[in-house]
Structure 1
Amino acid sequence: MKRLYGAVVLLVLIGVTTTVRAADCRVNGGVWVHVGAGGTLNLQVPVTVRLDSDRTRIVLEGARLECRFTPGQPFPSFVDFWRTSIQAGTPWTPGPKFASEGTGLRINAAYLNTPVPYEIHLAAMPNNGVGVPINATPFILIRNNPTNPIDVRIGDTLGVLRLRQTNNYNTTSTVLVLTYTAANNFGISPSTCTINNNNPIEINFGNVHQRAIGTDPLTSTIVSNRRLTYSCPDGGINTPITITYKGISSAFDSRLLMMTNPDVGTALVRAGSAVQVNGSFLTRISNSVGGDDVTFSLVRRNGSLPTPGAISGSGVLVMGVP
């Protein structure tokens, strides 16, 4: 009788172990997706790109990743574990827009710069079928030296997170690959270096007669001279830089910034040449400072007599590297 009882218990164990599944995961409250033992679960999630409140990082947030022990399983002592792992691959790979920047992952409130270490524990999933958050937020570091602006567009691939699931009951494991895409447009210069200490440069030409406005950026007499100063917070930076004249060009001359009067535009002149709108000029920072004298000139369309009245326009000067 004892032998018969032992055989029945053994048969029951064999019958239920085949039903144990690897894990289920979802993002942003979507449907649970199952990944079997030894498999790879590929998910994608749109996230918001924004500057963090301390202004030292750009964060990619809004991915609410949850995983759970597949519901309905026996053995309440079984637990799944999620961690970074060499078996899953590089924990965080930034997308093309961030390839030249310092990046990392914020895991459970700890900031880990790239390369993110392996075997960092993120979460444990007890055998109760309840979803457990996996807290991993990618970030991009703001730099103290000049760098080119980042321009993120909706739908851009921002990077890939890779995690591995193991457990306390057998040697099987699964892999999660989560691709982050941009849910918003976002532009920033990821550098703390500044032009004129980030203060606005207001160009007020005052009251001028339409006929006094010249038709060439280099000969117009309606001008405003300005000094541009460049600085970086860390000392000892010596590098060439570019200054880009960003904005919308006028319809009649690509060297001119569009104004509210379509027959008028504003030019940026440096070293005797007009900088094309969305073009740049090359200059330099030495020991973390630099500067240039430039002229803004008001220009009218050749053959036109602009309508009298107030006019305005706006552009941006952006520091970058060649």
Structure 2
Amino acid sequence: MKRLYGALVLLVLLGVTPTARAADCRVNGGPWQTVNPGGTISLQIPVNVRLGSDTTRILLEGANIECKFTSFGGPAWLQDYWATSTQVGPAWTPGPKFSNQGTGLRINGAYLNTPVPDGIRILTIPNNAVGYPLAVTPYILIRNNPTNPIDIRIGDTLGTLRLNQTNNYDAGRTGLLLAYIAANNFTVSPSTCTINNNNPIEINFGDVHQRAIGTDPLTTSVSTNRRLTYSCPDGGINTPITITYKGTPTSFNNRLLTMTHPDVGTALVRAGSAVQVNGSFLTRITNSGGGDDVTFSLVRRAGSLPAAGAISGSGVLVMGVP
């Protein structure tokens, strides 16, 4: 009897399905940072802030953010997407010193005030392992009414940026969380109101004899008068303001601004009183304008006779609110 032999061939259909990949990002040309799907890259970014401004915003520039699609041999049509998203929370949260200011993000040239909308696509990254910049820059809105300057110190948190990464090949996602940290000291004045139209106030006492320099800010014979004018671009602003005499006080009198000669300082006198250095006087803007007459006087340390020669110094007048 003949036997029949049969063969059963099992066809195993193998398909290539791309596995979810990690996200790779870096800041300011540093090492690439990787996070697995579902996670978040959390970085603190020391930023040497460069303040560029137009008529309505101050830009917090200085962080170069790049991300890439790390190729794993898949087809060329694979892509990663970076966007704002509720999955990671608010796109931009300003730091504590900016919490009372209007802020936002410039994304690919478009200005989006806080709260920044969700679902704003920032970048599409192809499957080529090349780093692409995320064109995102935080900003502060400039106000047309007087406000206090914001004094930023090294280590202060400027704000937190949150972005979300998805793709076109699976349901995976990762997040990017960047804390902007000030790497330098700087002062931001988020107001368009000005003192003397922001022009420098040069105080030139001319050639004086050392003995003519008095030891009291109110009685020294070496002095010069100036008019301070205050203005805001929008009409109808009526508010009290402060003018602060900022600088480094002398070691012998805190009402005197330090000069290049250790025994000489400069006082700011208003309404018969010398304003303490880093102190302020109260005045007012009415219908978006105002002004004060002040005197700058040269004063020497009691008991000293400064050596002949040129002396100089510098300070800043800052408008604020009480």
Normalised to the residue count of structure 1, the TM-score between the two structures is: 0.89
Query: Which residue identity lines up with residue 313 of structure 1 in the other structure?
Result: G
Aligned to 1:281: 281
Aligned to 1:265: 265
From the superposition, tell whether residues 29 and 210 of structure 1 become closer, same or farther in structure 2 (CA, over 3 Å).
Answer: closer
Any idea what SS the aligned residue of 2:54 has?
coil
Aligned to 1:62: 62
* Distance in 2 of aligned mates of 1:140 and 1:209: 49
Do 1:79 and 1:168's aligned partners in 2 also have CA atoms closer than 8 Å? yes
Do 2:51 and 2:61's aligned partners in 1 also have CA atoms closer than 8 Å? no
* Distance in 1 of aligned mates of 2:161 and 2:93: 7
1:130 pairs with 2:130: yes
Residue deviations 1:74-117 (CA, integer Å, cap 9, x gap)? 35433221110112111011223322322211111111111111
Do 1:243 and 1:282's aligned partners in 2 also have CA atoms closer than 8 Å? yes
- In terms of fraction of residues, the more helix-rich structure is 1
Aligned to 1:4: 10
Any idea what SS the aligned residue of 2:49 has?
strand
Residue deviations 1:59-86 (CA, integer Å, cap 9, x gap)? 2223222222332143543322111011
Aligned to 1:166: 166
Unmatched tracts of structure 1, length 5 or more: none
Shift of 1:278: 1.0
Do 1:20 and 1:73's aligned partners in 2 also have CA atoms closer than 8 Å? no
From the superposition, tell whether residues 314 and 30 of structure 1 become closer, same or farther in structure 2 (CA, over 3 Å).
Answer: closer
Aligned to 2:3: none
Aligned to 1:106: 106
Shift of 1:3: 7.7
* Distance in 2 of aligned mates of 1:2 and 1:77: 38
Shift of 1:58: 2.3
* Distance in 1 of aligned mates of 2:73 and 2:61: 33
* Distance in 1 of aligned mates of 2:67 and 2:297: 60
Matched residue pairs, number? 316
From the superposition, tell whether residues 61 and 204 of structure 1 become closer, same or farther in structure 2 (CA, over 3 Å).
Answer: closer
**Greater mean alpha carbon deviation, residues 93-102 or residues 278-287:** 93-102
Aligned to 2:296: 296
Query: Which residue identity lines up with residue 137 of structure 1 in the other structure?
Result: T
Shift of 1:204: 2.6
* Distance in 2 of aligned mates of 1:210 and 1:48: 43
From the superposition, tell whether residues 67 and 261 of structure 1 become closer, same or farther in structure 2 (CA, over 3 Å).
Answer: closer
% of aligned pairs identical? 71
